[in-house]
Amino acid sequence: FAKSAITFMKDWGFDGIDVDWEYPADSTQATNMILLLKEIRSQLDAYAAQYAPGYHFLLSIAAPAGPEHYSLLRFADLGQVLDYVNLMAYDYAGSWSSFSGHDANLFANPSNPNASPYNTDTAIKAYINGGVPASKIVLGMPIYGRSFEGTTDIGKAYSGIGSGSWENGIWDYKVLPKAGATVKYDSVAKGYYSYDPSSKEL
C-alpha cells in the first residue's frame, strides 16, 4: 500500500498523502495503523531524498471525533509520525441516530443530551491529552446540514430524513435555511440549526 500511495502521489503531483482508515477496531489494528503510517513516512522521506532534496512531503490522517473510535488510537505515536490530524468534527447525528441532533456542535448540552451525543471540545482535548500537539490538529467542518423529518425540535424523535441536495437527508449549506424554516442557536452546544414547525423538518 505504501509503495502504491507514493506512486499515486508522484503521478499526480500531490504534496503528500492523507490516510482515511475508518476505523481501527481494536488495539491490534491501531498498532497496524501506526506501522503503516511509519512505513509511508519512511517512503515519503526516501522519495524526497532522491527526487526533491530538502522537501518535506506531508502525511496526515482523517481522524474520528467519536470516543468509541478515537479511544482506541495511539495518540502519542500519531503525534510523532504525522504532520496533521484532520479531525472529522461533523456527522455527529444523522439517519443512524435515534434522535434529531446537531451535525457539528462545539460542546455538549447537558440539558439536551439527545441533541449532542458527540462534541468537538471533548474530542480535541482527548487528542491533545493523549499526545497529539494542538498545532497538528486541523478542524474539519461540514458545509451541509443533515435533515430530520417529523420531529418537534432538536434532540427529539423523528420519522425520517427526507430528500436532499445530492443525497437523502443532506442539504448543501447554500440552500439553507429552507423556505419557512427559522434559524435557531443552541448557546450551550454552540451550534446552529434551522427548523420549520409547520412541516416539522429540522
Which residues participate in catalysis according to the annotation? 22
- Residue 5: how many CB atoms within 10 A of its CB? 19
Long-range CB contact pairs, 8-11, < 8 A, 24+:
9/44, 9/57, 10/47, 10/51
Contact between 139 and 120 under an 8 Å Cβ cutoff? The reply is yes
The Cα 182–Cα 9 span in angstroms is 45
The Cα 104–Cα 89 span in angstroms is 6
